[in-house]
Structure 1
Amino acid sequence: MKITNTLSAITLALSGLSLSSHAQLANNSDNWQTFETENFRVHYTENYKQWALSSARELEQVRKLVKQQQGRVLQEKVDAYIIDSYNSANGFAVPLSNKPYMALFTTPPLSDSIIANATSWQQILVLHEYVHLVHLAQQSRSKLRNNISNWFDIYEASQIKGERWVAEGYATLLESQMTGTGRLFNNQVEAILQQFARQGALPSYEQLSNADDNFMSGSMAYIVGVRYLTWLEENYGKETLDAVWTRWSAVKNRTFHQAFNGVFPDSAKNLYQRFVAEYTYKAMTKEAQFSSLDSKLWMDLTGYVDAPTLNPSGEQLAVVETEIKDGKAKVTLNIYSTKENTEKAKEFEKNTKELLAKDPLDIADKAPEVFKRKQLFTLNQTNQRGIKNPRWLNDDTIIFGSTSLNGKNEFHKDLIIWQLSNNQVTQLTRGENLRRFDIAPDGQSIIAERSRYGQSQLVRVSLADNNKGTVIEEITNASTNQVYDFPRFKPTNKPTESTELAYLVSTLNNKWALRVKDLNTNEELAIPLPTDYQYLSFPEWSKDGEYIYYVAGKHGMTKLYQYHIANNNLSAISSGEQAVTWPTLDKQNNLLHLAISANGPDIYQVNLAEVEKTAITNTTIKTNINKKQASKYLLADASMAVDETLGENSNYGVGPQEGTITLGESYYSASSSMFELGYKSGDILERFDWQVNISQDVFDNILSGYAGTVRWQGWPVKLLAHGYQFDLKTDKQYSDALAFGKIKEKGLFVEASYPFSYDTFAIDSFVQAKYQTLAKEDSYYLSAGFRQHWSLDKQTWGIKQSFTGQFMLGDQDNQASSYQGSNGSIDINGHFNNFGLGFSYTWAERSKDAGNILSLGGYTSTLMQNKAHLNKKLTPELAFYQQIGNDYQSYQAYIPFEFGQLFYRRHDMNEQEQIDSYGISGTVNGSFGFTGINNISLNLGIAQVNPENSKSETQGWIGLSHQW
């Protein structure tokens, strides 16, 4: 089994998604509904009903057209989940051939996104994700492999072909060919890639599928992959490329490269190199047609740079900078002085003189084109929530966007206030889903675009003290047919009388348009745009309000445009050589803007008084999309219409149950090995799932048994039941333990829990009951408690804290030997930059009349679930029943890393010998949303065990099991 292929199966997302379960992406206790058509089941909650039923109609249309184009179709009914997990435009498909499904995120992209060129967000998203399924979820023509896949999820995932650029590139290809829009025909994307090509920075074949720390690397599988596939079709025919997909699902099992090499004259890598050469040649030929740059470098930056904005005095510039390192994003909002950095220039000159004084024959470094301006303030993101679209309220206060987490799985875009003078950060709104915005000139309100339930609108948010952060007016109605962006107030000398607002709007089957609206009279002016434009974004007013600037794209280029409203004159003020974004005006009537290169955007300056302007006489206010580039397999116009005759609506209930064989394997050198075979069934939302399994140490028969688990999470109160029976030969374990001989234990454990969360604070209160038979003695206990955790991450430092506490009452052998006790743990860890350190304390205490019912040692497995064994302190480096007692304590210090920790711990059971252990351990939990992966856990580690009065041992372990 190839783990890389398995991982590819679960990362086919429209943009990057971390591996998390649907139960983490959606609230499974909501009132979920299902609309079932002939070929799809669309699952949704009430607020998304229109979006969901419209997508069901779109899915059926897409299926019909893709079948005509591909000659292939999925026979299995596809599940589509309508969610809005992050208030961001996204989606993904999991191409399991026997149980395919997709998730569609309802928030549409904004105008500057590379996925904003579409007939509608819903249509292009549905098409892209369905093509993934048809492309990658075709059942194998090998009956054997197909039958195994039908029964075993993980095997099926391993059969999915692994080249990410192939999967994303092909879905992007059909997304573009079947709509006439998409990323293949996006002028902004083309302008960026041509700049990469001119720098010799297009990704290598090996880099094409990887998302590394390089600028835009995660997008290359889509935007370069689609162009390479187009080149293959143009040079070798669509039939040749299509033959690769046919060979993929053949009886003969082939990798992508084997399927490709059999029909193309050379390898995919070698042909890609030829494609890059040709693309670069065209880009260089085009560059020769440009004159010198219209702008000069103003500040040289690295990495992702976004949303530069000047304060009212023009003396400071705020800009969002993102550095990707080891796959992690460090996001900061930095404030720079706009003055030239004369101190740096003098320091450079001084160092140069000193260098040449020591060695007159040396050659000094060339001075940089511009010295980086002085950084005055910096603000790190909090809890990895990002920083977006800063705008100045005044010279001391910035408002910016960030993601907030209200309750369980409820992520929203909200507004934050940062006061520079005292470095105070406060949240302005909560749960409002506000994205791009502008502050009214009088400073008393904000107008923002709000995206909620797939609907977009402009709203006014109060900044007045009596209702600060409250939405007080809906400027436009919430609509699924329109998307708004970039509201910008017209500057005025009388702030209280400012009534004119520029904004972008996109309607179904139309391009983005620029409007100016009088908020008093509701009169609108359509701003003229260059004829045949395709891309439009970043409107910005001149300081006097006479001009409006924007970026538009055509013919594979983006340019800066200036429109004089009174004179109705449109001019281009850049040549198109640079991929330009984010224009902003300074006090000297210079225009600052970003220009994208392979190293990320830099800030350039255009002198508007001197720049050569090109008058644009061919203009338009029409926004209809030209679909001439579409193939003959063209989807009908997008529509948000609902046709309830297509299917039937019902309660989601336990959802579509999908079952799979499960396998587990464990080796613990202190105790035993164990093989586990089971059957697991569940739905994607994890509302109802269950598992049965048998477990056997196949080498030494030290541990064997069977277990079953059932869980219901469709209510706010979560229910779980776990039953088990096992035989354990304590004296046959690999390491010394108490010689109790063969222990037979069986039991039934039930739990009801109620989770609550707010931002990073979460608490899960629970009650538990267990009845068990051990050595022919019956016993039971009742327990109540809670699990709580909280974290704060300020990027350069962070802290995490958790606490678990529970109280229990029990009875031994149904006699008057009742007892009471408690279990608990405290953990706190933190990091400073890349160094982390943590401490934990665990205890278990039973009253004296309980007998020595606590045992130390052993490991968790599908058979032996940790939460169902309160009287067992399972720790993998020790054998089962290495010690027993009534009072246990453990102290641990550790250094955490991404998937584990370097640890030192001490075990102390009553007054017995203390046991110290130190080593390295790791846990990887897979819970992505298909049955075979949900609840799976891989534990591994190695430790040196040093009992106080016994010999030291080295123990290692690796275990794969399902943990509930």
Structure 2
Amino acid sequence: MRALLIIFVAFTSFGLQAKWQTIKTENFNVHYPQSLQQWAYSAANELEVVRDKVLAQQGRALSERADVIIYDPENAANGFALPSTDKPMMALQATPPQADSVIANNTSWQQLLILHEYIHLVHLSQPSRNQWRQHLRDWHDITDLLDAVLPRWVSEGYATLLESRLTGRGRLYDNYSESIVRYYAQQGALPTYSALDDGDKSYLSNSMAYLVGVRFLAWLEDNYGAQTLDAVWTRVQAVESRSFETAFSGAFGAPASQLYRRFIVEYSYQAMQQEKALIPTQSELWQQFAYAARDIAFSPDGSQFLVVEQNRKRQVTLNIYESKENVEAIEQFNKRNEAILNADPKDIVDIAPEVFPKKRLAQLNAHNFAGIYYPQWLNDSHIYFVAKTPTADDSFINDLFVWKVGTGKPKQLTEGAGIRRFSIIDANTVIAEVSRLGYSQLVIMELDSGKQTPITTSKLGDVHDFPVLSNKKTTLAYVHVTPNKRWQLVVKDLSHDATEIVYLPKSHQYLSGLTWSHDDDKLYFISGVAGHLAVMRYDVESKVLETLPASAKPLEQIITHSQQLLVSYATPEGVKVNKIVSPAWRTVSVLEQVDEAEQKELHPHQLPAAKIDQTALPSSDYSVFEQSYSIALSGALNSASFDSLGVSLKGQDVLRQLAWQLGAEKSINNGALMGAFAQLEYRHENWKTTFDAGYQELEADKQSHSLQVNTSNESSFKQFALSSSYRFGEALNYLAPELGVIRVQHSEKTWNGGRYSFNGRAMWDTQQHGVALQVSAAQWLGELDGFDYQVNLFAKAWQIPFYASVDSRYSSELPLSVGGGALTSTSISNSLHAVSEPMLPHLFATGSRYLGYEFATSWQQGKPKLFYKQHQLDGEVIGQNYGIKMHMPLSRVILDKAADFAPAGLTDLQFSAGVGRIEGRNMTNENRVWFSVWYEL
């Protein structure tokens, strides 16, 4: 088998050099593209350090080598882990977090990320001590994953707990995180136990699995001992089968939900006591948003302000509002109350809200999942902002766009820039933080030429953020951090090329939200101490540092205009903006200049200082032959034909460049079907080569509706196909031509031929509205003379989706058959002769020319569809069906990005189900149902 795979890959790789490399340390396989080599060198060293410390702290380690994927797919800070007892995997994204993130309080991004994801693996990938259960996990990846999964708040909370305990930093000790949780406690808005995993739709509730989960677990350790909590993980994988809840109750003597209620009471009481100790800054509500709102900025003339908003469905818009009071809304409110009292003088009308929402003037929807980030006014009519653009290697990178307010699609100004926050010098020049491949640097960027002039050096581990240019363009302020240090405030005089570090008091941690006063005299920012955030300002001329009293609110942004000082903050209902009234500034004395970050505790097994060690390590070209294997089970229930079961052996490498499966399937309620299949797929960059083989023995008269089948009762089918394609474009819009050869044997006859084809997609999406067109077409040559094409159209209006498709096929020699649900042995690629329809039995009808079309809709994308479908064969309608159905790539829906690197048994899983009514000639009109789960490479 290995020799066959080597020959196949050599034949299909066209001599291209591998872009991915592998470093093999003692316990890890570190896979990375060559562009991230320096990041990978450092990560490989840090991985072994983290493993040793976690082993000393927990007495646990992974029983197998872990695959570590290093990549940068989104130009954003993230990572994930996929637990498995035989193929544990974690993915590390190189782009570092920004200063206002809850993960900005770290020794280094690399160390925090590695520690957090490795804890996931050690915590969740422990083998079961039940021998038979573990044997099943070894051979069946789905069982392995299901046995590893714990409630989200447990897995994320515990990784966050140890990220903090073992570094003295992290989210448990982060002032911004603490400010959020404490304020929500003061509002009685901490999640219930049942909502702790996924939130309750209130603002930021989806983050509470991390932020509240870690504090609950820390409370458990502090009150019951770390060994008691650790005992839960031991009990979960015992010989005796236990759920998390059972394991927890046995270790603590009470259910987790009961102790969580006690934790909430204690934490909320402490939060209320701390609120009483604060001296609130006088302020008044200026604007309330429906949900998330960020990057608020006034226009140059002050008559408007922009804001990026996101609703509960994660739809992002850039909105422009009037700055003045909404007189129209006030008048409408008063008229409504007046009408109510006229109709019923004894009624008591609503009191006026604290503030009326400002009038919206214009709106821009995010296009094609690109988002909208860090918008700024160029002038009163044009806005620059950052959005993500897709690349040819299926990643996204941040680029700069300009939007003329009130018009349609924005114009892209850069290509592949990796830009994040920026300040505008003029229409052609910006000062920006550029973040690419893990490196962060401030540059002066010329938009017409793309030329970049460095302001700061680019060094792995260093991060720059919040570059804000004074209104006079003479002074630049920004924040900067290096490994093991704390964020520092830097002011640079551009006229004299002089740089000053503005030191904060030793106890401060968290630094963000930089903005200049209207007259450039003062620099405002947000800092934190003891779990509270405060507005601070620095006078550049007098060198005086001042602060407002600490706030109970989780401050997110400072907005200045003219003489106004506004702050935005998070609430369970959404973001609010307050106007500061008569601020009580006090001078802050900095007694010593401190660079070191404060560490909250010294754990016995604390990690050593983060080290960016770029010493070259031995590496080799990535090998596709280090494969994971799994038994893969499939099955179908189908009232029109038969129920079936399938079993296969499935394998692939961690990057899924080479994937294959060998298997068989058989009907279980009759002897109608016996099938077998083999599939092999190799991918290299945009090349894809596939080999498919299928065998099927079908006795049509044994199906549930065999009397309606108008073809011969028995069918023997074999198919072999080899094809190769190359994709031009990116993941959203592409064109992929393909060449292939095929051999089909049907009963006693054999056809040999080839095909040339293409498939492509074009799409446009603005969240509320969108259109996507996907087309595939093939011309068949030789003895397989014929053609086929499929057109799929998707559109949505006000988020209501609509679907239409056309499937046309013609074969001059090989008979086309209509009917039958999706089976791996019949759904292999390049199939011209078989038209799948689960509401009809296999071999329901045959002919030479097929035309089918379908219309469908739903209440939301990704939900079951209401559909109507018609089948025509040789110019005659042979059937029509309608009902409710659903099809989804199950692996992708459940695992999201992890599906790209998951073990073999967790990828390529498809799901289809439906119920409906079939009508047509040679059949009894009746209701039919189907359900199927299968693997399809």
Distance 1:297 1:654 in 2: 59
Distance 1:917 1:885 in 2: 20
Alignment partner, residue 89 of structure 1: 77
Distance 2:840 2:595 in 1: 70
Alignment partner, residue 604 of structure 1: 578
CA contact (8 A) 2:326 2:359 kept: yes
Distance 1:433 1:908 in 2: 51
CA contact (8 A) 1:675 1:697 kept: yes
Q: Tell me whether 116-125 or 358-367 shows the greater mean CA deviation.
A: 358-367
Distance 2:75 2:18 in 1: 18
Residues 157-236 of structure 1 mapped to structure 2, 5 A cutoff = 157-236=145-224
Alignment partner, residue 304 of structure 1: 292
Alignment partner, residue 454 of structure 2: 474
Residues 267-666 of structure 1 mapped to structure 2, 5 A cutoff = 267-324=255-312, 328-423=313-408, 425-440=410-425, 442-463=426-447, 466-467=448-449, 470-492=450-472, 498-519=473-494, 521-587=496-562, 589-607=563-581, 610-618=582-590, 621-644=593-616, 648-654=618-624, 656-666=626-636
Distance 2:270 2:877 in 1: 76
Q: Tell me whether 82-91 or 340-349 shows the greater mean CA deviation.
A: 340-349
Q: Tell me whether 954-963 or 286-295 shows the greater mean CA deviation.
A: 286-295
TM-score of the pair, normalised by structure 2: 0.95
The 1:954/1:99 distance shift into structure 2, 3 A limit, reads: same
Q: Tell me whether 444-453 or 345-354 shows the greater mean CA deviation.
A: 345-354
Deviation at 1:350, TM superposition (A): 3.0
Residues 667-682 of structure 1 mapped to structure 2, 5 A cutoff = 667-682=637-652
Q: Does 1:791 align with 2:763?
A: yes
Deviation at 1:386, TM superposition (A): 1.3
Deviation at 1:63, TM superposition (A): 0.4
Given candidates 819, 827, 845, the residue that maps to 2:792 is 827
CA contact (8 A) 2:173 2:600 kept: no
Distance 1:655 1:478 in 2: 37
Distance 2:333 2:598 in 1: 54
CA contact (8 A) 1:404 1:759 kept: no
Given candidates 45, 49, 52, the residue that maps to 2:33 is 45
Deviation at 1:643, TM superposition (A): 4.2
Q: Tell me whether 116-125 or 409-418 shows the greater mean CA deviation.
A: 409-418
What SS class does the counterpart of residue 827 from structure 1 fall into? strand
Q: Does 1:705 align with 2:648?
A: no
CA contact (8 A) 1:559 1:579 kept: no
Distance 1:800 1:241 in 2: 50
Q: Does 1:747 align with 2:719?
A: yes
TM-score of the pair, normalised by structure 1: 0.92
Distance 2:409 2:793 in 1: 26
Q: Which runs of 4+ in 1 moved over 4 A?
A: none
CA contact (8 A) 1:916 1:948 kept: no
Q: Tell me whether 328-337 or 132-141 shows the greater mean CA deviation.
A: 328-337
Deviation at 1:347, TM superposition (A): 2.8
Q: Does 1:76 align with 2:64?
A: yes
CA contact (8 A) 1:140 1:146 kept: yes
Given candidates 921, 929, 932, the residue that maps to 1:956 is 929
Deviations 1:617-671 (A, max 9, x none): 23554221122423121111111113446xx411112053100011111122222
What SS class does the counterpart of residue 394 from structure 1 fall into? coil
Given candidates 856, 874, 888, the residue that maps to 1:910 is 874
CA contact (8 A) 1:528 1:570 kept: no
Q: Does 1:901 align with 2:885?
A: no
CA contact (8 A) 2:191 2:199 kept: no
Q: Tell me whether 686-695 or 404-413 shows the greater mean CA deviation.
A: 404-413
Amino acid at match of 1:129: E
What SS class does the counterpart of residue 265 from structure 2 fall into? helix
Amino acid at match of 2:73: S
Deviation at 1:706, TM superposition (A): 1.5
CA contact (8 A) 2:18 2:621 kept: no
What SS class does the counterpart of residue 162 from structure 2 fall into? helix
Deviations 1:921-943 (A, max 9, x none): 21121241221121111111122
What SS class does the counterpart of residue 339 from structure 2 fall into? helix
Deviations 1:10-55 (A, max 9, x none): xxxxxxxxxxxxxxxxxx9961110001100000011101111211
Amino acid at match of 1:600: G
The answer for unaligned runs of 5 or more in structure 1 is 1-27, 493-497, 812-818
CA contact (8 A) 2:650 2:904 kept: yes
Amino acid at match of 1:454: G
Q: Does 1:150 align with 2:138?
A: yes
Deviation at 1:211, TM superposition (A): 4.2
CA contact (8 A) 1:662 1:680 kept: yes
Deviations 1:448-496 (A, max 9, x none): 1111111111122224xx53xx24322223221210101011122xxxx
Distance 1:271 1:846 in 2: 69
The 1:599/1:30 distance shift into structure 2, 3 A limit, reads: farther
Q: Does 1:924 align with 2:888?
A: yes
Alignment partner, residue 653 of structure 2: 683
Distance 1:400 1:56 in 2: 36
Amino acid at match of 1:830: A
Q: Tell me whether 747-756 or 358-367 shows the greater mean CA deviation.
A: 358-367
Distance 2:869 2:340 in 1: 55
Distance 1:875 1:562 in 2: 68
The 1:160/1:398 distance shift into structure 2, 3 A limit, reads: same
- Among all aligned residue pairs of Structure 1 and Structure 2, give the percentage whose two residues are the same amino acid: 34
Distance 2:461 2:144 in 1: 39
Deviation at 1:520, TM superposition (A): 5.1
Deviation at 1:438, TM superposition (A): 0.9
Amino acid at match of 1:188: Y
Q: Tell me whether 208-217 or 225-234 shows the greater mean CA deviation.
A: 208-217
CA contact (8 A) 1:191 1:579 kept: yes
CA contact (8 A) 1:542 1:548 kept: yes
Deviation at 1:250, TM superposition (A): 1.0
The 1:785/1:825 distance shift into structure 2, 3 A limit, reads: same
Deviations 1:420-459 (A, max 9, x none): 154452111222111111111x444111111111111112
Deviations 1:232-284 (A, max 9, x none): 11111111111111111111111111111112132110110010001110111
Amino acid at match of 1:85: P
Alignment partner, residue 779 of structure 1: 751
The answer for unaligned runs of 5 or more in structure 2 is 1-15, 893-898
CA contact (8 A) 1:529 1:619 kept: no
What SS class does the counterpart of residue 311 from structure 2 fall into? strand
Amino acid at match of 1:480: L
Amino acid at match of 2:935: H
Amino acid at match of 1:158: L
Distance 1:717 1:345 in 2: 61
Alignment partner, residue 877 of structure 1: 839
Root mean square deviation of aligned Cα:
1.7
The 1:421/1:887 distance shift into structure 2, 3 A limit, reads: closer
Alignment partner, residue 807 of structure 1: 779
CA contact (8 A) 1:161 1:256 kept: no
What SS class does the counterpart of residue 510 from structure 1 fall into? coil
